[in-house]
Amino acid sequence: MKISSKGRYGLAVLSSMAKHEGVGKIVTVVSISERLEISKIYLEQVFALLKRGGFVTSVKGSGGGYYLAKQPNDITVYDILSAVESGMFEKTEATVAKSDEALEKSVNDNVYAVLDNAVKEVLSGISLEDIVNKSGEGYMYYL
């Protein structure tokens, strides 16, 4: 499975905010950009998606920025990637539905649906809190 840079950065941003700021503490795009060494312009696009997904709230004006809108244990990796990754969780398109409907149904039911459910189950079982709690245990994360 390949996760786009928006998905990877969305996960990194929210994990960093959960680790360093927690819920309710405002952080600027510039400070996150500098901390994670990610382009400010690109991060603004990611924050727009995270805001639309309900993970962050924006504050305008001087002293403005973003803060986590939910507790880290209430945000799963699946939630984040579903909001940021366009197309990652779309249904697989039909392959041979016109020529062999039974085969198409069997492949969908026994392969694609099984994979989709497994990915959803695993990613739904990992919260931001899990990531933050394990970040000090000698894990090396490459983004």
Q: The CATH number of the domain where 80 resides is what?
A: 1.10.10.10
Residue 142 located in a structural domain? no
d(CA 82, CA 6): 11
Count up the domains in the chain and report the number. Answer: 1
Domain span at residue 23 reads 5-85+127-134
d(CA 25, CA 28): 10
Residue-level pLDDT at 51: 96
pTM comes to 0.82
* Residue in the structure block whose two tokens are 């940021």: 84
Amino acid at residue number 22: G
The pLDDT-based confidence of 137 (bands split at 50, 70, 90) is low
Q: Is residue 104 part of a domain?
A: no
Q: What value does the mean pLDDT take over residues 18-27?
A: 89
Distance of alpha carbon 19 from alpha carbon 25, whole angstroms: 11
Q: What angle do CA 130, 133, 137 make, to 5 degrees?
A: 120
> For position 136, what pLDDT does the model report?
62
Residue 50 falls inside a structural domain = yes
Query: Cα separation of 88 and 100, whole Å?
Result: 26
Asked whether the predicted pLDDT for residue 141 surpasses 60, the reply is no
| Residue 62 belongs to a domain | yes
Alpha helix locations (H) across 1-143? 5-20, 29-36, 40-52, 77-84, 101-107, 113-124, 128-134
Kindly state whether residue 29 falls inside one of the protein's structural domains.
yes
**Residue with structure tokens 């060494």?**
37
In-domain check, residue 80: yes
Kindly give the interhelix angle for 5-20 and 29-36, rounded to the nearest 10 degrees: 100
Q: Does residue 103 lie within any of the structural domains?
A: no
Residue 36 lies in a domain: yes
